Chain A
Amino acid sequence: MESTTDTLAEDAGIDAPAVSLHGWSLSGKQGDVFTDIDLEVPIGGIAVVRGSAGSGKTSFLLSVAGRMRVSAGEGRLGDIDIRKRARTVRGQVAVGHVGGLTDLEDDFTVAQHVAERQIMLQPWYKPWASKSTLREVIGLIRDTFTMAAEIIDELPPGTFSKDDAQRADFLIDDDGQVFVSELSELQKFFLEFGLASLSRPPVVVIDNIDYLRESADRARAWAGILIYQQLRRSRDPEDPLTVIVSCEDSSELDIATRSLGSRAEPSLVELELPARPPASRGSKH
């Protein structure tokens, strides 16, 4: 496992950047949201977009995901021009969590969520998901959690324990019959992340990790992201996962990276969005 991780980390440095932005700006009727942002995220890397509330983090993430138009600048996802081929970009960039847009359905079970996403990813002529397909998917998720737990097990005793992995595991029962409303915030976070990753997209964006109220959960979330990136590399070296995460405060990432140590050595890019004067209207968040 270690060797693999190293190799992949090196590979990431060699390849062309997964996301590269130049002069990326967005201005709306209320003024500029963000201006003149240059960013290069290497493939398999992790970008942390920091900024206070209302600094335009969500808009920025959505614009990178091809789901919001910017007013100026150049942006590429690999070879794809984000502004010109937004539709293709949307197929490549999954949205892990954007509050208010990707909210889970409380009255769905985990299995139903998974099934729903699975069906939608299937071609049009297969509008259903059999129980066996679902079991396969759930098995895959369970494997992921097992492997994450294994990675944590290998860590020296400290910040993370196997218990953290179990805390994050939303597959509380074998068949995923538990309702989303019964999940913890962390579990929901991972469910969203898991659903976003189901199509194995090259890039996943996650907005506002700070909505996890507990600091420990945030650390667990970061750790989960890092571990999943590692696992993805190990499973499919040709198709590493690039993650763009926004937050107000990335201190828990430091805890995670410190704790994981050599288990996860992300190509980390950081972007600080300047705080703007509070908008005249209240935010939905």
Chain B
Amino acid sequence: MFSLPWLELSRFKRHTITRLAMIVIIVIPSIYGGLYLASNWNPTEHLDKLQAAIVNEDTGAEKPDSDGEKLNAGQELVDEITPKGEGGFDWQETSQEEADEGLAEGKYFAVLEIPSDFSEMLVSTGGDDPEQAGLKLRTDDAHNFIVGQVAGTILSEIKGGLSETTTAEYVNQVYLGFNDIHSETEKAANGASDLHDGAGQLHDGTGELVDGATKLDKGIGTLHSGLIDLDEGAGELKKGSGDLADGASELKKGTTEAKNGSKKLADGAGQVADGTSELRDTADEATKKAEDVKRKADDVVDGARPKLERAEGDFDDARTTVRGDMDERIKQLQEDYPDDPNVQKLAEDADGLGEDLDSAHKRASDATDEAKSLEDKLTDAVDGVMDKIRTADKKIGQLDDGAQKVATGADDLHSGLIKLDAGAGRLAKGAGDLHDGAVQLKDGTAKAEDGAADLKDGSEQLVDGATELDKGAGKLDDGSGELADGLQKGLEQIPTYDKNDRENRSDVVAVPVDADKVKDNAVDAYGEGLSAFFVSLALWIGGMITYMVLNAIPYRALFSSAPSSRIAWAGYVPGLLFGIAQVAVLYAILTFALDFSAGAWVWTLLFSMLVAACFHSVHQLCVAALGGVGRLVALVLLMLQIASAGGTYPVETAPKIFQVISPFLPMTHAVSGLRTLVAGGDMFIAAQAAVVLLLMTALCLVATIVVCSRKRMVTLTQLHPSLSL
């Protein structure tokens, strides 16, 4: 059975050299990719094979706040990095000259110089004038540029380590400082608290002061008005005392006159008293005679009245007898002798008798009553005269008593007026003195009033001042309270650290960010990371080699009547088979010789084959369309892709032009897809890359078909090419 690809391949079966050529085609990508990756598989792991010099000129320094303890940081650093396997390179302590020479010769790849003041500077971090300690790393780009870069990293690691210890040391001191701050602040807080208490008391006191001052002010007000009154009074007193003095003088004159007058009065009164005494004796005799008259009148009265009363009684008894017994017996006779005219006459006589009796009785009674009233009038008249006599007697007695008393009184008055006159003399003198005093008093009260007015002003100011003071004291109270609270809160926030805590914290602050580098989808080695790029490169070169040996299309078929698509396909399939073989061999070598491992093996292989398929289609197109020039184009494409595929540094770091062309070149997608598959990760990227590569392959194949179709027409130039490659 024959098929076109197989026929194309069978061309190479004939000679040993062509068979070898096939092997070379298959192996060349492996050689290219394998050799490069092998030499760069894990270069950073072997940096310790590079010699580097360390020159220690550090003279050491005394640690601060210690008893002469010395710090030899330079020597410590040397001890730290010179042991094998530490500090990145194979460090050796040398002299400065040796190091310079070694660096120049290329014996040493780096020289680390520790300056003489290294320890001193480190120590200075805890002192008053901190300075940064300096280290110097020298490399020589003339010997190796990359090592210079790596050495930079190593230096920053060393620097990081040193910073960590020195910073921790320094920060430890800072934390000690915190403890001091804490205790001092505590004192301040206590003081503030005391101040607050005091301010509270002060505030109370000022409150009382305000009350007191207010009362004082009121009192002074009262005092002031009182003083005004007093002043007025003193004025009046002054005036009054003046009048008094005048009056007293007048009085003195009067009393003297009265004294003289009373002497005369006393004499007169003695004479009156003698007269009255005689009058009295006469009045007593008259009274005794009136009493006798009265007794005689009474005897008259008493003898007349009982005779009348007996007459009245007798008439009354007679009438009663007549009226009672006689009536009844007349009546009886009238009944027994109703018609007898004697009886009737008797009855009429009896009745006339009775009526005479009655009228007699009546006249007796009237005489009695009249006697009685006469008696009463007499009695009254006698009594009235008697009373008047007695009263007159009594009044004369009294007159006499009075006159006696007046006589005595006038004597007394006289003696009293003598005293009064003497007293008035003294009074006049006293009143003069009083007036003088009152004048002085008035002056004094006027002054006192002025003073009280001033005092009032002062007391008002005192009240104002006291109120202000009270307000101020209130504020002081509040403020000191806040201060005390604030200080207490602040105190609570000021941490204290014990020794362990301090050390722990110092370490944390020295390296506050513990930067753990976490790589997603980490590759095992540098070479594995680069493999995506170099596999792509190798496959591109494989494609170039393939179509250097293979015909891009079976040219003679162009002049048959076979369709162009068939011709293009016939040229592509052998290349594709070589590509697949290249992939297989390449991965076999990477896996078995370099410990390569892909994240997704099957997909990596399939994707790589797709990459090969794509690259080979590009090469077929180049060669089919342009012949030898096509191979040059492929080479130029290779260069462009190396620059723009982002195989080493991301393409974003390259100039803009590379970023622009990057997506249009297949290697970009080959690299991104392979990278994802080798390292693992988002398979979407790989799928995307695969789709792009498939499209590019299809595009190239279609283009090749078009090329084939056009190649079937020959131009004169083709027939007579000016340049044959």
Residues of A within 8 A of B (CB): 26, 28-30, 33, 58-59, 62, 67-69, 86, 90-92, 94-95, 98, 100-105, 107-108, 111-112, 115-121, 124, 127-131, 134, 179, 195-196, 199, 201, 279, 281, 283-284
List, in ascending order, chain B residues with CB within 8 A of A33's CB.
716
**Cβ contact within 8 Å between B7 and A281:** no
Interface segment out of the listed B170-178, B310-318, B559-567? B559-567
**Cβ contact within 8 Å between A281 and B720:** yes
In the bound assembly, the distance between CA atoms of A68 and B720 in angstroms comes to 13
In the bound assembly, the distance between CA atoms of A16 and B712 in angstroms comes to 28
B653 within 8 A of A: no
List, in ascending order, chain B residues with CB within 8 A of A127's CB.
3-4, 566, 569
A-B contact pairs, 23 of them (CB 8 A): A30-B716, A58-B719, A67-B713, A67-B714, A68-B713, A90-B712, A94-B560, A94-B561, A101-B558, A101-B559, A101-B714, A103-B556, A116-B2, A117-B557, A119-B7, A120-B562, A124-B566, A129-B3, A130-B1, A131-B2, A179-B14, A281-B722, A284-B724
> Which chain B residues (1-47) contact chain A, with CB distance < 8 Å?
1-4, 7, 10-12, 14-15, 18
Q: When A and B form their complex, what is the total count of cross-chain residue pairs whose Cβ atoms lie within 8 Å?
A: 117
In the bound assembly, the distance between CA atoms of A111 and B716 in angstroms comes to 33
In the bound assembly, the distance between CA atoms of A102 and B567 in angstroms comes to 14
**Cβ contact within 8 Å between B1 and A131:** yes
In the bound assembly, the distance between CA atoms of A109 and B699 in angstroms comes to 34
List, in ascending order, chain B residues with CB within 8 A of A29's CB.
716
List, in ascending order, chain B residues with CB within 8 A of A279's CB.
720
* Most A Cβ at <10 Å: residue of B560, B563, B566: B560
**Cβ contact within 8 Å between A119 and B2:** yes
Instruction: Give the residue of B12, B566, B721 whose beta carbon is less than 8 angstroms from that of A120.
Output: B566
CB distance from B19 to the nearest CB of A (A): 11
B500 within 8 A of A: no
**Cβ contact within 8 Å between B713 and A115:** no
Closest B residue, CB atoms, query A115: B2
In the bound assembly, the distance between CA atoms of A67 and B713 in angstroms comes to 4
List, in ascending order, chain A residues with CB within 8 A of B14's CB.
107, 179
In the bound assembly, the distance between CA atoms of A115 and B5 in angstroms comes to 12
CB distance from B447 to the nearest CB of A (A): 144
**Cβ contact within 8 Å between B719 and A112:** no
> Which chain B residues (528-574) contact chain A, with CB distance < 8 Å?
554-563, 565-567, 569-570
Residues of B within 8 A of A (CB): 1-4, 7, 10-12, 14-15, 18, 554-563, 565-567, 569-570, 712-716, 719-722, 724
List, in ascending order, chain A residues with CB within 8 A of B10's CB.
108, 112
**Cβ contact within 8 Å between B12 and A107:** yes
**Cβ contact within 8 Å between A107 and B3:** no
Instruction: Give the residue of A69, A95, A284 whose beta carbon is less than 8 angstroms from that of B713.
Output: A69
List, in ascending order, chain B residues with CB within 8 A of A199's CB.
560-561
**Cβ contact within 8 Å between B561 and A91:** yes
In the bound assembly, the distance between CA atoms of A5 and B450 in angstroms comes to 174
List, in ascending order, chain B residues with CB within 8 A of A119's CB.
2-4, 7, 566
**Cβ contact within 8 Å between B3 and A128:** yes
Given contacts A62-B714, A112-B2, A121-B562, contact A107 B720 (CB under 8 A): no
**Cβ contact within 8 Å between A104 and B560:** no
Closest A residue, CB atoms, query B573: A127
In the bound assembly, the distance between CA atoms of A281 and B717 in angstroms comes to 11
List, in ascending order, chain B residues with CB within 8 A of A284's CB.
719-721, 724
List, in ascending order, chain B residues with CB within 8 A of A131's CB.
1-2
CB distance from B130 to the nearest CB of A (A): 83
Given contacts A62-B714, A129-B2, contact A98 B720 (CB under 8 A): no
In the bound assembly, the distance between CA atoms of A179 and B722 in angstroms comes to 32
Closest B residue, CB atoms, query A117: B560
**Cβ contact within 8 Å between B556 and A120:** no
Closest B residue, CB atoms, query A201: B561
CB distance from B16 to the nearest CB of A (A): 12
**Cβ contact within 8 Å between A196 and B721:** no
**Cβ contact within 8 Å between B560 and A124:** no
**Cβ contact within 8 Å between A59 and B719:** yes
In the bound assembly, the distance between CA atoms of A4 and B207 in angstroms comes to 154
**Cβ contact within 8 Å between A67 and B559:** yes
Top 8 closest A-B pairs, CB basis? A120-B562, A115-B2, A95-B559, A128-B3, A28-B716, A107-B11, A129-B2, A107-B14
Beyond the given A68-B715, A101-B555, could you list 16 further A-B residue pairs with CB under 8 A, ordered by the A residue number? A94-B561, A98-B559, A100-B719, A101-B714, A102-B559, A104-B556, A108-B7, A116-B2, A119-B4, A119-B7, A120-B560, A120-B567, A124-B566, A127-B569, A134-B2, A284-B724
Closest A residue, CB atoms, query B4: A119
**Cβ contact within 8 Å between A86 and B714:** no
**Cβ contact within 8 Å between A121 and B559:** no
List, in ascending order, chain B residues with CB within 8 A of A30's CB.
716
In the bound assembly, the distance between CA atoms of A120 and B571 in angstroms comes to 12
In the bound assembly, the distance between CA atoms of A118 and B561 in angstroms comes to 11
**Cβ contact within 8 Å between A116 and B713:** no
List, in ascending order, chain B residues with CB within 8 A of A179's CB.
14
In the bound assembly, the distance between CA atoms of A103 and B558 in angstroms comes to 11
**Cβ contact within 8 Å between B7 and A116:** yes
In the bound assembly, the distance between CA atoms of A118 and B565 in angstroms comes to 15
In the bound assembly, the distance between CA atoms of A150 and B195 in angstroms comes to 143
**Cβ contact within 8 Å between B556 and A102:** yes
Given contacts A59-B716, A67-B714, A179-B14, contact A196 B560 (CB under 8 A): yes
In the bound assembly, the distance between CA atoms of A119 and B714 in angstroms comes to 24
Closest A residue, CB atoms, query B567: A120
* Most A Cβ at <10 Å: residue of B4, B570, B722: B4
List, in ascending order, chain B residues with CB within 8 A of A116's CB.
2, 4, 7, 554, 557, 570
CB distance from A242 to the nearest CB of B (A): 15
List, in ascending order, chain A residues with CB within 8 A of B558's CB.
101
Given contacts A116-B2, A116-B7, A284-B720, contact A101 B556 (CB under 8 A): yes
List, in ascending order, chain A residues with CB within 8 A of B714's CB.
62, 67-68, 101
Closest A residue, CB atoms, query B12: A107
**Cβ contact within 8 Å between A107 and B566:** no
* Most B Cβ at <10 Å: residue of A107, A195, A281: A107
List, in ascending order, chain A residues with CB within 8 A of B554's CB.
116
CB distance from B42 to the nearest CB of A (A): 45
**Cβ contact within 8 Å between B15 and A107:** yes
Given contacts A119-B4, A128-B1, contact A105 B556 (CB under 8 A): yes
CB distance from B356 to the nearest CB of A (A): 208
In the bound assembly, the distance between CA atoms of A116 and B8 in angstroms comes to 9
**Cβ contact within 8 Å between B712 and A115:** no
In the bound assembly, the distance between CA atoms of A117 and B554 in angstroms comes to 10
In the bound assembly, the distance between CA atoms of A200 and B569 in angstroms comes to 24
Closest B residue, CB atoms, query A100: B719
CB distance from A141 to the nearest CB of B (A): 16
In the bound assembly, the distance between CA atoms of A58 and B720 in angstroms comes to 11
Closest A residue, CB atoms, query B13: A107
